[in-house]
Amino acid sequence: MTTPRRIFIVDDDQNSIALITTLLEARGHTIRSNLVADQAISQIVDMRPHIVLVDLMMAALDGYALAGELKRRPELSDTKVVMVSARTGAIWSERSKTAGLDGYVTKPIDIATFAERVESFLP
Q: Domain residue spans in the chain?
A: 6-119
- Look at residue 1 and tell me whether its pLDDT is greater than 60: no
Domain at 6-119, CATH class: alpha beta
The CA distance from 69 to 59, in Å, is 16
Residues 6+ apart with CB under 8 A from 7: 24, 29, 30, 31, 32, 49, 50, 51, 52, 53, 118
pTM of the model: 0.93
Cα 110–chain centre separation = 15
At 52-78, the pLDDT tens digits run 999 988 777 788 899 999 999 999 999
